[in-house]
Amino acid sequence: MSDRRWRGHEGSAGSMGYDGCVEGGGRFAAEQGEQSVDTGHMQRKVDSAAGAREEVRRVLGDFYGARADGGPAARTTVGDALLVTSELVTNAIRHGGGLLGFEARVSEGELVLHITDASPEEPATPATAHPGRPGGFGWALVRRLCRGVVVRRHPDGGGKTITARLAL
């Protein structure tokens, strides 16, 4: 199974960098020994972008608690998280053969999203923009807004899981 990792770089307008390709397991963060915030809620089944956004709102609301009104920075973070969630889930539904799994949690000061779809193909970014033609910019946007993005192909060729991490 191969992983592709992208990481945001400090500095110039949030440009993104490619960290390379590594071999590794396809386990979720909790299975890898990371600490998670126990929000007291079970993950809900998600089958749409709207449902995924609602789950992210709930997870972030539990995390921020009384800090939810934390001013422009918190509102921007929540807005970015909802945009990334919407892009990844919509792409799984439209281009990935369907959404097979979704998980959102807070771990070590980050929102961690896991989106699983049926396609082993990596998300594509068009080489050039087509004025007047919508679409094609979601993957670049996700990579720009996230602290890190990993694409894990499932070993049986039956899809992939994208893990996206956003700083809180």
Which residue intervals of 11-128 are DSSP H helices?
A: 49-64, 71-95
pTM: 0.73
Q: pLDDT grade, residue 74 (50/70/90)?
A: confident
Yes or no: say if 110 and 147 are a contact pair by the CB < 8 Å rule.
yes
Tell me the pLDDT tens digit for each residue of 55-68.
999 999 888 875 55
User: So where are the chain's domains?
Assistant: 44-122+135-168
How many whole angstroms separate alpha carbon 55 and alpha carbon 98?
Answer: 18
CATH number of 44-122+135-168: 3.30.565.10
Give Cα separations from 14 to 7, 35, 140 (angstroms).
Answer: 10, 27, 12
Nearest to 161 by CA among 108, 107, 104, 119: 119
Left (φ > 0), alpha (ψ -120 to 50) or beta: where does 46 sit?
Answer: beta
Cα–chain-centroid distance for residue 30?
16
Q: What does the pLDDT look like over 95-138, one tens digit per residue?
A: 999 999 999 999 999 999 999 999 999 998 776 666 777 777 88
- Write out the E strands in the chain: 2-8, 16-23, 99-107, 110-117, 148-153, 160-167
